[in-house]
A and B are shown apart, each in its own frame.
Chain A
Amino acid sequence: MITLFSWFNSLPLTIRIYISIGLFFLAISLVFVLAIQVSQLLKRVNTRFKRRYMDEIQKEISLLVVQSSMSEVPEASFRFKLERLISLTRKSDYLAQLILNEIVSMKKNLVGESAVYLKRAYLELGLFDLSVKKVRSRNWKRIAKGLRELEIMEQVDALHHFIIFLNHSNYYLRREARLSLAGLAPNPMFFLDNFSESLSDWEKLLLFEKLKRRPREVIPDFSKWYYHQNYTVVTFCIEMTVQFGQVHNIEKLEHLLTISNHQLRCLIVDALRRMEAIQSLEIVSEILKKATTSKMIIACLKFIGSIGDDSFSELLQPFARNSNLYVRLEAVRALTEIDGKIDLTSFAINSMLSHIKHPLIV
């Protein structure tokens, strides 16, 4: 060692600096390699540990659900099977978390008696407390996971946990709270009353997915928010009116057509068409007569094309000669749909008809 140092000291300064830098980087690379190796080893051990228990956990939960529902003494059978899961939960928090993940994952796909047993197991294994612990943590991802678990396990008693996140500074937590409430609360959309931020298309879709799974009686009357100050809330409510077939709101939608927002009016005409609002034919034809933008004209033409009859043929004729190609196309389509007379001598009507009747377009 001493010889090595004396040899190193005998070297010129520049060489010594080069060697030191080289050794420094070599040491850093070794530390990195070691860290990667240790992390891989830990991951492997973790996966092996998880696999070892995973099969057992899945089997125990399946047996708990299946046997309890088939047994002549369901309560005794449930208790007996639960004991094994209780002993696993007590072994470590990690195993309790694995059991929680499996129960939540299974609950998502099951209804009926099996879902009831899963909910009971969730409570009796103390997994509810584990979810609440997550909700109380500082990490937003853990909080979101906890909220989702509580919602999937239908813990109505935990609604206050969701409500406090409605005004949280983190967008994802606010969104998660809204989605969970839509999936769980007895009045699922109450948060819309004072909702001021923008509802993204993605969130609208997720909310709809949640509402679709709720019983019909808890679905709110969406006309309540037709005059909401938030434009995204209004568009969402119009869409939900269509999706949940709230035909009693057709008249309210017609009233909404008096507002000045052009985009919203187009959306309403489209909603009325999808709700097959035959009673709105007169209003929509009046709008068509006064319409100035191609978007509104097209929406009205689509409406009349799908609901109207050949008595509207005269009204539609001029639009088949409109300067805008899309308006012309929609007018011809509407005329063919209502079996209206197409009198267009100066128009390449045959090619247009074959074009719009093409299966890929229809």
Chain B
Amino acid sequence: MKQILVCEDDGALISMIRFKLQKDKIGEVTMAQDGREAIDLLKEKEYDMIISDIHMPYHSGLELLTYIRNDLGRNTPFIILSAEGLEKTVMQAFNLGVSDFLTKPFSPNELSMRVSRLIPE
């Protein structure tokens, strides 16, 4: 079973993403409610996929992405979820090496499709 880390501070949304990805048999979801918790989890274990909100307490999604790419040197597929679809933010995320960018509100079916496309076999 693939391991997916979801970093999101909205409890309701995190619960929905977890059910969707597990029901679609894409992977097992671990939750982190802020950037600090996500970094702690990443230090302990390597995940097959990371889905992160852009605005989170302590460390933003972009900071988390930089940490994974630069400090941990991992190429784990990374999807950013964001309520703002500003061109500048999207460009910044892609420059930092994000695999995909999804703007809120989004469709859970679409998220599931994007995750399954990116997750390594």
Contact = CB atoms under 8 A, between A and B. Distances in A.
A69 B109 CA distance: 9
Interface in B60-115: 83, 104-110
A65 B106 CA distance: 14
A66 B105 contact: no
- Interface secondary structure of B, over-half rule: helix
A109 B10 CA distance: 10
B106 A102 contact: no
A105 B23 contact: no
Interface residues of B, number: 19
A115 interface: yes
- Interface secondary structure of A, over-half rule: helix
Contacts of B15: 58-59, 61-62
Q: What is the size category of the interface that chain A forms with chain B?
A: 20 to 34
A130 interface: no
Interface in A7-50: none
Nearest to B17: A62
Contact of A105 (B13, B106, B107): B13
Nearest to B14: A58
A108 interface: yes
A114 B23 CA distance: 14
B89 to A, nearest CB: 14
Taking each of A58, A62, A113, A115, which has the highest tally of chain B beta carbons within 10 Å of its own beta carbon?
A62
Nearest to B23: A66
Given A106-B12, A109-B10, A62 B107 contact: no
Interface of B: 10-13, 15-16, 18-20, 23-24, 83, 104-110
Given A102-B12, A108-B105, 19 more contacts: A54-B11, A58-B15, A59-B15, A61-B12, A61-B16, A62-B18, A62-B20, A67-B23, A70-B23, A105-B12, A108-B104, A109-B10, A110-B106, A110-B107, A112-B109, A112-B110, A113-B107, A114-B109, A213-B105
Interface of A: 54, 58-59, 61-63, 65-67, 69-70, 102, 105-106, 108-115, 213
